[in-house]
Amino acid sequence: MTQQALADAAGVSRKLVCDAEAGKLTMQLDGLVKICNALGCDLVVREANSERPTYRDVVADRP
């Protein structure tokens, strides 16, 4: 599926899909929910656990 096809199916912009793929840290939750719905998957939000690395920790480790 192309980014544009996903954006069309979700009713969001292609830029939002690109940002989600790139792991942008500041995104609107409603846009992510629309993308997940279009993909047939769930978006799970949970409280950060200090024993697990956060998303920021993982992104900071990227080359």
- Tens digits of residue pLDDT in 2-54: 999 999 999 999 999 999 999 887 888 899 999 999 999 998 877 766 676 67
Q: Check whether 57 has a pLDDT greater than 80.
A: no
How high is the pLDDT of residue 63? 60
Confidence of residue 58 (pLDDT cuts 50, 70, 90): low
Total number of domains in the chain: 1
At 50 the pLDDT is 63
Entry pTM: 0.70
| DSSP string of 17-56, one letter each residue | HHHHHHT-SS--HHHHHHHHHHHT---------TTS--HH
**Long-range contacts of range 12-16, CB-CB < 8 Å, 24 or more positions apart?**
none
Identify the domain containing residue 56 by its residue range.
3-60
pLDDT of residue 7: 97
